[in-house]
Each structure stands twice: as structure tokens, then as C-alpha cells.
Copies of this chain bind each other. A is one copy, B any other.
Amino acid sequence: MKSDLDALMAQKNFDALLVFGNAENNPPMTYLTGGGHVSAATLIKKRGETAVLFCNDMERDEAGKSGLTVRLYGEYPWQEMLKEANGDTALMSALRLRRMFKDMEISGRVGLYGFSDVSSLFAVLSHFERLTPEVELVGETRENSIFMLAMETKDADEVARIRRMGRITTEVVGLTAAYLKEREVRADEVVLKENGSPLTIGDLKEKINLWLAERGATPSEGYILAIGKDAGVPHSQGNPVDEVKLGQTIVFDIYPQENGGGYFYDFTRTWSLGYATPETQKLYDQVKNAYERVIENLDMNAKFKDYQALTCNIFEKDGHPTVRTEKAPLQGYVHSLGHGLGLNIHERPWSGLTAADDNLLKPGVVFTIEPGLYYPEQGMGFRIEDSYWMSAEGKIELLAEYPYDFVLEMKNWKK
């Protein structure tokens, strides 16, 4: 949680954190500011102190909504500094950054973060490092950065925002299912749209994107709506020109985000329209069974990867290859069980078999459970995914309910 940042800074021996970029679509900055229309900001947090948000003068009001200490770039006369920098704007920005650090009396190890333009920042920081030898800038790899560690556990407000995205997600999934069930079906089992031409994956995605936009949610780039062979490839987004047909598995993995780069939800259902073949029904039931057994066994403070091992056990007993029995399997159970979820679609805790032991189902984590089976050569794939929250009391809450029907009955079609 945000309140852990000072303790984490002490553990990592950071004297300050330095975050660059916009308040939106920039997880570390969004996390500390709450988002909003503040652009090209510089946030500096000294250990044990409230963060200071430096921004352009005309964004003062917007920055004020963050509740942080707001200071304006205008306090540092750019004309004067540009002269000192002989017209070099990167050097000018470095001189200004140095003054900010002096004003805040910061030296020592400073963690560097943000999603930003690399080129100009590199130019500025090269000057800054030369001018400010008393500061050591430190970059961190994403997996275990201080923000990943802090973000791993959520406060009540964050959980409420994820829950709200869950409600929107399941509403849109419900609309999608209802739309599919109403469709007419051609003799060759191709599903038709209103005008009588075949319904494609692309048509469906257009509708889904609109339903999300109407609800203030951003459709994530490349979300998955895949049928047939594509459904058997976990990362295939599906082919927009693929026609929707009865009796084929459709994997629908949707992870919308609050507009402006806020919190995600993550959800998957697998459907077969009209009917299931005995083979697909059998595999779907195995995925459902694995999902249920994992959920029944979730315990507070357990290692997340232990459930990955449990899932491998279950699928191996059912006769499938898994990531434990093969190095990089292309069929069977080919991925990890889940991941943490927040301002990043993938964050701590991690569930892979080789994940570090400190990836626990701690109180406050929000995480996905998403077992699946994939047989691309047979043109089928299956995944069930929901997002859960581990409360302070160890209660495990499903953040948005949605039925687990595999076969969607078509209103205008009978076998």
C-alpha cells in the first residue's frame, strides 16, 4: 500500500523517489497523484515526507486535487536558467532539477520512475548526474521495483475501483452473450448479424468497445476474443475476419481499464454457441474443476506458486502436458495460474513456478485465477478467469460474479 512506501524506501536504501511524466497513463505517477490532467510533471518524494508535485503554472488547480504539496516550475525563472545553459534546453531542465533537489535538501540514492519520453529525459539526466554528484540516480527492473512492492496490496478505495471495473466488465460480457444468443444461424452453423451476413470477431469487438466506452472504460489494446484455432493460442487476440460459428470454443479474455490509465479488471469466459462437442465439454469441465479446486484451497499468506503447482497436479492427472512436465509446451496447460492486478494489468504477486517465495496471498492483494487448456491443432482452447481480493481478515472476495455456462443456447436455432 501507499503507506508502505517509506518503509520500502528504508529497506531499499532510497533517500528519495523521482517520478517523471503525466499524471495519467503512467502507473507510478497515477498511483501517487490520483491521475488528472497534469502533464510533464516532476514528483519528488523524500523519505518520511509528503511527495512534492512540480508542474506547469496553468495546471496548478488540477495538481492541487492530488492532495500533494504542489510547487510550480514558474518558481524557477527559466529565462535566467536558459541563459546560464547557453540556450541548451536539456541543460536548463537539469539546472532546474538540481535547484529542486537543493531546495528539498536531497542527496544520496534516488529511485527513478515514470513512463515518459526517453530521449529528452536521457539528455536532461546526463547533465543532472554530472552537475549533481551528491545524488545517485537508480533505475529498477519492473518486477520488484518499489512501486510493484507497494502496489501489491490495495487499500479499500483501490479495491472499490477495481470492483467497479468488474461490474462494468461483467455487464459488457453479459451484453455480448445476450447479443450472441439472439442471432440467426445459417444452415452451415455460421452465426449471422442483423443484415444477414456472417458475424465476425471484428464485428463483435466493435460492439464491445462501444459498450465499454459508454460506461467510461477503456478497452485494453489487444484484448482476446478468439475462436477455433486462435482460441487454442493463449496470447492470440483472435482474427477480426474470423466468422463466429456454432460448436467452436470462443475464449473471451477482457481486461478494461478506467479511462485515463486507472485500475484494470481481468476476466475470461469460454463459450461454445448452440452446442458443445463431447470433447470440448470434457475439457471445459476439467478447466472448471481445476478452477474450483484452486478457489476452495486459497489461503491467506500462502505462496501463490503453490496453487500453480496444484493446478499442474490436477491437469497432469487429467493427462495433459503442463509447464511443469515440458519446457515450453504448445498444448495443454501452458501458462501461469494468475497475477496481481491494479494500475498494471500484470503486477505482483506473481504465480509462476519459479516466482520468488515472497509472492504471497497477503491481506490486501488483488489477483486473478485463470487456469486453462489449449489444443490449437484441434482448434480449441479453454480458460476461466476471475479476479479476487484477499481482505485484511483473510476473506477471499470474488470481485464480480458472472455465470460459468460453457454452452450458450441460441434462441433461433435447434439441433
Contacts and interface: CB of A to CB of B under 8 A. Distances in A.
A112 B122 contact: yes
Contacts of A140: 119-120, 123
A118 B120 contact: no
A120 B142 contact: yes
A212 to B, nearest CB: 9
Contacts of A124: 139
A221 B260 contact: yes
Contacts of A137: 122
Interface string A110-140: 0111111111111111100000000001111
A296 interface: no
Contacts of A118: 20-21, 112-116, 118, 121, 139
Interface residues of A, number: 41
A187 interface: no
A24 B221 contact: yes
Among A119, A121, A142, A221, max chain B CB count under 10 A is at: A119
A122 to B, nearest CB: 3
A143 interface: yes
A111 B119 CA distance: 8
Q: Copy number in this complex?
A: 2
Contacts of A111: 119
A215 B119 CA distance: 33
A79 to B, nearest CB: 10
Interface string A57-78: 0100000000000000000000
A187 to B, nearest CB: 32
Contacts of A58: 235
Contact of A139 (B28, B37, B126, B143): B126
Nearest to A36: B222
B119 A89 contact: no
Nearest to A111: B119
Contacts of A143: 89
Contact of A141 (B21, B89, B221): B89
A49 interface: no
Contacts of A116: 115-116, 118
Interface string A28-56: 10000000010000000000000000000
Given A118-B118, A237-B37, A214 B221 contact: no
Nearest to A145: B119
A210 interface: yes
17 contacts: A21-B118, A24-B221, A28-B119, A37-B221, A37-B222, A114-B117, A114-B119, A117-B142, A118-B139, A119-B141, A119-B145, A120-B145, A121-B139, A126-B139, A210-B213, A210-B214, A213-B213
